[in-house]
Amino acid sequence: MTAATPAPPTLGSLCRELAIDWTAADSAELRRQAAGHLAALDHYLALGSEIPSHISGTASICVPITSVTDPVDLFASAAGSVGRESYRVEEYPDYHITVHFSTVPVVILLLKRPSVPLPKLEDLCARAGAAVGARVGGDRGSYFQLNLPKFGWTLHTDDEYEGVASRVHLPVSTTPENIFAWAPRLDSPREDWLLETHLEPDKIYQVRTDVPHTAINRHSAEARLHLILDVTPDDAA
C-alpha cells in the first residue's frame, strides 16, 4: 500500500493568535515601562554606525530584557549552540553591542544596568503562559527585535541553534509589508514556501520556530519592532 502524502500544514499549525484580552493600552504601558531599552536602541541607531548584516544597507538588532548585564554571562548561559559561538563586543556608556555569527551576523544590544522586572511584561508572560500551557518569557527569554527597512533573515530554525521550538510575538510597531513565513526546507526556493502571514500590531501570536522560517521587512522606510518571548515546556531543564 502506498503511504498517504502528508497534508500541507495550515496557518493554525504554524501560527496562532492567543486570545488573552491584550489591548493597545497594555502595549502602550509595556512600552512605557521598557523606555530604557527603547531609548538605548534609539541612541545606537542615531550614531549612524554601520551595523553588521548579511544585507547591505540594512540590519537587525536584538535587545534582551534581562537582569544579565555582562556579555560573558549572556553567552555562557545561552542555550543551543549560541554559547559556543565566538563574538565581539563594542562598549558604550550605557550598553554593550555584541556581534556573533550563526549563518548570518546577529547583533545584540545589552544594557549595562539591570532592566527587570517590568510588571506589564510579567503580566503578558503569565497570560500567554496560561494560554499555551508552558512557561513564556522570563529573565533570559524575553527581548525586543528590530528589523530595519528591507531586512530579512535567511531561512533558519531556532530549536537547534537556540533550543527554542516555539515563541510568542507581540508586534509593537509594524506595517503590512512585514511578513512571517515558513518553508519545508532551509534551502526551499520562494515558490515552495509553505505559508506567509502578517502579524498585526497589539495582537499576541504563538509561532513555530522549529520549522524553517523567516521574517522579512519589505517596507522601504519603516522599521519593524516585535517583543519576542521564548516558550519553554514546564518539564524542560
The set of cell numbers assigned to 36 is 530604557
> Does residue 108 contact residue 88 with C-beta atoms inside 8 Å?
no
Please indicate, yes or no, if residue 6 is contained in any of the structural domains: no
How many other C-beta atoms lie within 10 A of the C-beta of residue 77?
Answer: 13
Please indicate, yes or no, if residue 32 is contained in any of the structural domains: yes
12 DSSP assignment: H
Strand partners, 233: none
Higher per-residue pLDDT: 77 or 214: 214
Which pLDDT belongs to residue 13?
A: 86
Residues 6+ apart with CB under 8 A from 167: 158, 206, 207, 209, 228, 229, 230, 231
Please indicate, yes or no, if residue 22 is contained in any of the structural domains: yes
Please indicate, yes or no, if residue 123 is contained in any of the structural domains: yes
Please indicate, yes or no, if residue 48 is contained in any of the structural domains: yes
Please indicate, yes or no, if residue 237 is contained in any of the structural domains: no
Q: What is the mean pLDDT of residues 12-26?
A: 93
Q: How many domains does the chain have?
A: 1
Please indicate, yes or no, if residue 198 is contained in any of the structural domains: yes
Q: What is the mean pLDDT of residues 184-191?
A: 95
> What average pLDDT does the structure give for the chain?
91
Amino acid at the residue 86: S
> Does residue 149 contact residue 178 with C-beta atoms inside 8 Å?
no
**pLDDT(8) > 80:** no
Q: The whole model's pTM is what?
A: 0.91
Please indicate, yes or no, if residue 10 is contained in any of the structural domains: no
CATH label of the domain that carries residue 180: 2.60.120.10
Q: Structural domain of residue 198, as residue ranges?
A: 17-232
Which pLDDT belongs to residue 76?
A: 85
Confidence of residue 237 (pLDDT cuts 50, 70, 90): very low
